[in-house]
Amino acid sequence: MTLAAFFPFLIAALCAWLGPRLGRRTGYVAAAAFLPALLLIPELLGMPGSAPALEVTRWVPELDLHLAFRGDGFSLLFAVLIGVIGTLASLYSVAYLSEHEKFGRFYAYLLCFGGSMLGLVLSDNLVALFGFWEMTSVTSFLLIGLWHTRSAARDGAMKAFLVSALGGLALLAAVALIALGGGSTSLSGLDLSALRASPFFTPALLLTLLAAFTKSAQLPFHLWLPTAMEAPTPVSAFLHSATMVKAGVVLVAKFGLIFGTSALWPAIIVPVGLATLVWGAWLALRQTDLKALLAYSTISQLGLLMSLYGLADAEGRFAATAHLLNHAAFKAALFFVVGIIDHETGTRELPRLGGLRRALPVTFAVALLAALSMAGLPPLGGFISKELFYEAMVHQGPLYLAVAVLGSTLTFAYSFRLMRVFLGPLRAPAGAQPHEAPPGLTLPAAALALTALAFGLLPGMAEALTRTAQTALNFGAYGGYLSLWHGVTPALIATVLTWALGAALVTQADRVGDLGRRLTPRTNANTVYYSLTQLVNVFASWLIARTQGLALPDQLRIMLAATAVISGYALVRAPQVFHPFGDLPLGVLPVAALLVGGAVGVLLSRNRLTAVIVTGLTGFGTAAAFLAFRAPDLALTQLLVEAVTVILFLLAFRYLPGVRDLPRTRGRYAFDLTVAGLAGIGATLLVLSSVRFLAPPISPYYLEYSYKGGGGKNVVNVLLVDFRGFDTLGEITVVGIVALAVLSLVRLGRRGRTRTEPGAPPPEDLAPDLPAARVPVTQQERP
């Protein structure tokens, strides 16, 4: 299992390298990435009986973070599903993608996504689960934005990422709370009774639901899924049938075992799921883009799955698992079909297409099977799982059943709307000559559609697959079984009603369309999302314009004032006890005088020469202080540096204007004085408080080993060149880089393309007291 989760990443690196070399054939390599996942099939087939395997690789034990993969029936079922659809999607893309695609990038993203999804479903460690969850968000961001030159793709990727990252943060918090309450980060090792009793239970439940709803595009968060259709079609098939969007469903299914006892769990999930079912189906009915139709259909079907798993009882889990398999089969097939249509006609717009059954007979057959399964017609798998859905809803009450019937009616209607591209007279965009797609495109679709058919015709096989998850999801006691004919039950009556209503909707398509135009609200999740993002953008530019777009002194003022406020608050909150004023040794008074003289003098100086000399005073004062405090090396260095600095300043003054300060406004002057004073006070307090917390020095080690280890009696020197040699090397590098920078800056001045053009008006931001004529002529320019 560990291999199954990580093998795709390895192959992804390989594909990134092979992509430019093999071109589209990289897809065959990519398909091999899911082999370890497919090798889990034997393990899955033995499943309801055999005990789940657990593979633990220690990773960060300090965080209780291990790569623990647990192959219970449900995880294995999902992993195999991902493996199958991933393989088919890889093979399909070989024929689908154009010659100019960036194959390396595409397959690398696709496989990273598949790997993180496998990790997500197999992971037994909560923290690792969160990690894989976030990786699916990131990789799907990359996949959706694959054609990043199109702004729509960027927008779609961003939207998907923002929404699912919001859920990711919620999941992080939920995972932390669960681990705290349950006393373990291992999903199978949680102390459930302790968690249920802990105060973290309800917050963790709500946060988990937020994560699941964002990922699985439940009602308020459904906005990202349709725009995620900007991804290439094989990606859509992979993301939407088997994987990313189902991550939320997986979460609800798995965590339902933890949270299902709470009445809050079904009370939130089931209504949200049913509302998503109906609303998604209603919106799907309105789409003209085939992929958008499928996207909303996915939203709707996810609502169905959510509501079933959310029931957190055996019946719901059984029905949901059965439908999960069916949905994966027919939805991936339909995406592949839409890809074929797009490929052959160059458009996905419903009104521009029609009568394709003659041109694309095989595709038509595939689409028919898949769409009938989606509509819930016998003898396909979709019919059976819908019966189970109705059965479950019958037990929940008539209101639930009515909503379920409404949702399924709409599903029925949009399934037939989808099929309209194959019916009626042939219609295709001018220039397109639709003919049957190559087998590379039709075979994966046909395989999936036949699976959907097999689920219906051989319900025993579907049941066996569903039952593999029974131990993991705790529905072993459920007595129901999959069959096309259960006798005349309330569910069957509801189904017949659904067909009648669905047929009515199909015949009254125009009126339904009119109604749709009128009923769709003007404010929806998308408008809210866009106004929110715009609000953030406007606020950010407002903030930037007022804090970062300022001239340097103003920015500094803001930063310093902020520091003053924050540290002042800290000081008030935690007042320190400082040393009393100690004795005043007379010996250091001259040093102090030098320092004070320099600091005060530079503020008063009007002449630049004076300023530099006075600064030097402080420099020499510092050197004297070093000498006084037993640091001869420092004093020597400081003296040398001081001398060089003065020379440097004098050199620079040849080209620089006078140092006399330009006038500040009165308010700024006062403000600057305050800030400077506060900074000084802060520095003093900082030094005083640090003196108080004097730690035992680590220098005895250096004193002892200076001669023994370094062979030098000047400990400071030995420290620099031996103990902290790399530090010194870094320092030398810094000085070297600075020397290069100084040199290049000085040499830049040679050409003197600095001037404003002759005769041009002076720049607006030129200080009024500095006429442009004072621009110096550099030395090199002189003849």
Partner 1 sequence: METLFALLIGLLIAAGVFLLLSRSLVRVVLGLSFIAYGGNLAILTVAGLREVAPPLLTLRGPYMDPLPQALILTAIVIGFATTALLLTVALRAYQVAGHADVAAFGDNLARDPHAEDDTFADPEHQGPDRPDEPEAEPVPIIVRPRSRP
Binders in 671-690 for partner 1, by CB under 8 A: 672-673, 675-677, 679-688, 690
Contact call for residue 741 and partner 1 (CB under 8 A): yes
The length of the chain, given as a count of residues: 783
Residues 6+ apart with CB under 8 A from 755: 772, 775
Nearest distance from C-beta of residue 702 to partner 1, angstroms:
6
CB of 737 to partner 1, least distance (A): 8
Stretch that binds partner 1, among 162-170, 201-209, 344-352, 743-751 (CB under 8 A): 743-751
Q: How far is the CB of 182 from partner 1 (least distance, A)?
A: 39
- The label of the residue with tokens 């140092």 reads 659
Give φ, ψ of 354 to 5 degrees: 180, 155
The encoded tokens of residue 315 equal: 């019946």
Q: Which is nearer to partner 1, 58 or 630 (CB)?
A: 630
Taking CB under 8 A as the criterion, the residue among 82, 163, 247, 283 binding partner 1 is: 283
Written as one letter, the residue type at 36 is P
Q: Is 660 in the site for partner 1 (CB under 8 A)?
A: yes
Establish how many alpha carbons lie within 13 A of residue 213's alpha carbon, considering only the half-sphere containing its beta carbon: 24
Stretch that binds partner 1, among 173-181, 236-244, 352-360, 526-534 (CB under 8 A): 526-534
E strands, 538-651, are: none
Tokens read off for 694: 């004097």
| 319-358 residues near partner 1, rule: CB under 8 A | none
Minimum distance of partner 1 from residue 405's CB (angstroms):
23
**560: Cβ–Cβ under 8 A, 6 or more apart, which residues?**
675, 678, 679
- Binders of partner 1 among residues 181 to 240 (CB under 8 A) are 223, 226-227
Measuring CA to CA, which residue among 407, 404, 412 is closest to residue 388? 404
Residue 485 as a binder of partner 1 (CB under 8 A): the answer is no
Nearest approach, Cβ of 714 to partner 1 (angstroms)? 6
CB 289 within 8 A of CB 421: no
Among residue numbers 606 through 635, which ones bind partner 1 (CB under 8 A)? 608, 611-612, 615, 618-619, 622, 625-626, 629-634
Q: Of the ranges 7-15, 124-132, 195-203, 546-554, which one interacts with partner 1 (CB under 8 A)?
A: 546-554
| Residue 752 lies near partner 1 (rule: CB under 8 A) | yes
DSSP string, 559-585: HHHHHHHHHHHHHHHSPPPPPP-----
Distance between CA atoms of residues 199 and 204, nearest Å: 9
Q: Which of 581, 758, 759, 783 binds partner 1 (CB under 8 A)?
A: 581
Answer for which of 554, 609, 709, 780 binds partner 1 (CB under 8 A) is 554
| Burial of residue 582, with CB atoms counted within 10 A of its CB: 0-12 exposed, 13-18 middle, 19 or more buried | exposed
The nearer residue to partner 1, 474 or 728, going by C-beta atoms, is 728
Cis peptide before 379 (omega within 30 of 0): yes
Q: Which is nearer to partner 1, 57 or 537 (CB)?
A: 537
3-class DSSP state of 506 = helix
Query: Which range of residues in 117-125, 260-268, 329-337, 764-772 is near partner 1 by CB under 8 A?
Result: 764-772
Query: Binding to partner 1 by residue 517, rule CB under 8 A?
Result: yes
In whole angstroms, give the CA distance from residue 167 to residue 170.
5
Question: By CB under 8 A, what part of segment 585-604 binds partner 1?
Answer: 585, 588, 592, 595-596, 599-600, 602-603
DSSP for residue 69: E
Stretch that binds partner 1, among 54-62, 267-275, 419-427, 548-556 (CB under 8 A): 548-556
Would you count residue 734 as binding partner 1 (CB under 8 A)? Answer: yes
x/- binding map, residues 692-731, to partner 1, per CB under 8 A? --x--xxx--xx--xx-----xxxx--xx--xx--xx--x
Q: Which residues pair with 66 in a beta bridge?
A: 58
By CB under 8 A, residue 536 contacts partner 1 = no
- Determine, following the binding rule CB under 8 A, whether residue 552 of this chain makes contact with partner 1: yes
Nearer to partner 1, 108 or 299 (CB): 299
Phi, psi of 52 (to 5 degrees): -65, 140
- Of 42, 62, 149, 151, which lies in the binding site for partner 1, with binding defined by CB under 8 A? 151
Decide: is 647 part of the binding site for partner 1 (CB under 8 A).
no
Please list, in sequence order, all residues whose beta carbon lies within 8 angstroms of the beta carbon of residue 26, skipping any fewer than 6 positions away: 15, 18, 19, 103, 104, 107
In whole angstroms, the minimum distance from the beta carbon of 151 to partner 1 comes to: 4
Q: Does 534 bind partner 1 (CB under 8 A)?
A: yes
Please measure the distance between the N-terminal and C-terminal CA atoms of the chain and give it in whole angstroms.
Answer: 78
Does the protein bind partner 1 through residue 754 (CB under 8 A)? yes
Q: How far is the CB of 663 from partner 1 (least distance, A)?
A: 8
- Find all residues with CB under 8 Å of 212, minimum gap 6, and list them: 167, 218, 248, 249, 251, 252, 255, 306
CB of 502 to partner 1, least distance (A): 21
Burial 670-684 (b: 16+ CB within 10 A, else e): eeeeebeebeeebee
Kindly list the distances between the CA atom of residue 274 and the CA atoms of 388, 393, 499, 722, 777, in Å, as whole numbers in the listed order: 15, 10, 19, 71, 78
Can you tell me which of 584, 586, 666, 782 binds partner 1, judged by CB under 8 A?
584
Q: How far is the CB of 566 from partner 1 (least distance, A)?
A: 16
Answer yes or no whether residue 531 interacts with partner 1 by CB under 8 A: no
CA 779 to chain CA centroid, nearest Å = 55
* 303 binding partner 1? (CB under 8 A): no
What is the per-residue binding string for partner 1 in 382-401, x denoting contact by CB under 8 A?
--------------------
3-class DSSP assignment, residue 764: coil
Least spacing, CB of residue 599 vs partner 1, in Å: 4
- Distance in Å, CB of 213 to partner 1, minimum: 17
Q: Please, what is the angle between helix 103-122 and helix 244-259, to 10°?
A: 10
8 Å CB contact between 302 and 324: no
Question: From the CB of 733, what's the least distance to partner 1, in Å?
Answer: 10
User: Taking CB under 8 A as the rule, does residue 659 contact partner 1?
Assistant: yes
In angstroms, give the least distance from the CB of 332 to partner 1: 21
